[in-house]
Amino acid sequence: MRHARLLAAAIACISCAAARADTLTVFAAASLKEALDAAARPFEKTSGHRVVASYAGSNVLARQIESGAPAALFISADAAWVDMLESRRRVVPGTRRDLLANDLVLVAPRDSASQLRIATGFDLAGALAGGRLALANPDAVPAGKYAKASLVSLGAWDAVRSRLAPAENVRAALALVARGEAPLGIVYRTDALAEPRVRIVDTFPPASYPPIVYPMVVIKGAPPAAAELAAYLASPAAEVTWKRFGFRRAP
């Protein structure tokens, strides 16, 4: 009887643990893929919760959340899309925090001989040599908006605006360069580090574009464990992983 009671208690504990475990869906900017996948694993192991990430352009994800998509957390590549969701009352008040920071770089295919120093008045159009400049959609996607802001600041936008290869997100722009379909592209530093088929030609001056910051928020209706995940992703333990993939702590 004693063994039977112990077995029943053990099964009950397992059942309680299973009942407490949540599946947490994180909507995250495409540039976070490898880093967030890695950062989530220790949390899953220690908490028992499951993390499922959906990656796309921040604009696409924000619109999906606005329409009622069941996200627990949203990590955007800029503030504007979080501002929009806050204005629509889709965010749990008081949960917003700036999580990460990044840099903007010019990339070329790994075997390209292209050399270019980025500075005011630099000849980006000439460096394209008849090809197109890959970047995320500058009208909506954060990476593209940062890229346009920098090129405008440096006086290079007008010469290249008709020679763009706009992509739906920054990883799609990166892929165009990696496959050799575009001779140059503008992406985040972390994207370039994640793709062995490209190399960094030069880094854009930080003063030429707004600070690249990734705000994180808990979405209304999320399970209680969403706050636990948010706290972990902002913890010193997770920061080690973020740094390994090239991200910086947000100022």
Residue showing tokens 């899953």: 44
Residue 93 DSSP one-character state: T
Distance CA 115, CA 195 (A): 19
- Tell me how crowded residue 8 is: count the other CB atoms within 10 A of its CB: 10
Q: Which domains does the chain have, with CATH numbers?
A: 2-101+213-249 (3.40.190.10), 104-203 (3.40.190.10)
What is the pLDDT, as a whole number, of residue 21? 83
Contact 232, 43 (CB under 8 A): yes
User: In one letter, which amino acid is 28?
Assistant: A
What is the pLDDT, as a whole number, of residue 8? 37
Closest CA to 62 of 76, 41, 48, 45: 76
Burial class of residue 54, CB neighbours in 10 A (0-12, 13-18, 19+): middle
What are the backbone angles phi and psi of residue 184, rounded to the nearest 5°? -145, 155
Residue showing tokens 């379909």: 181
What is the pLDDT, as a whole number, of residue 3? 42
State the 10-residue block means of pLDDT for the chain, 251 residues long: 40 42 95 97 96 97 97 97 97 98 98 95 96 97 97 98 97 98 98 97 98 98 97 97 96 88
What is the pLDDT, as a whole number, of residue 12? 36
Distance CA 242, CA 74 (A): 17
pTM for this entry = 0.88
Measured between alpha carbons, how far is residue 45 from residues 34, 190, 227 in Å? 18, 26, 17
Give strand pairing partners of 200: 107
What are the backbone angles phi and psi of residue 28, rounded to the nearest 5°? -135, 145
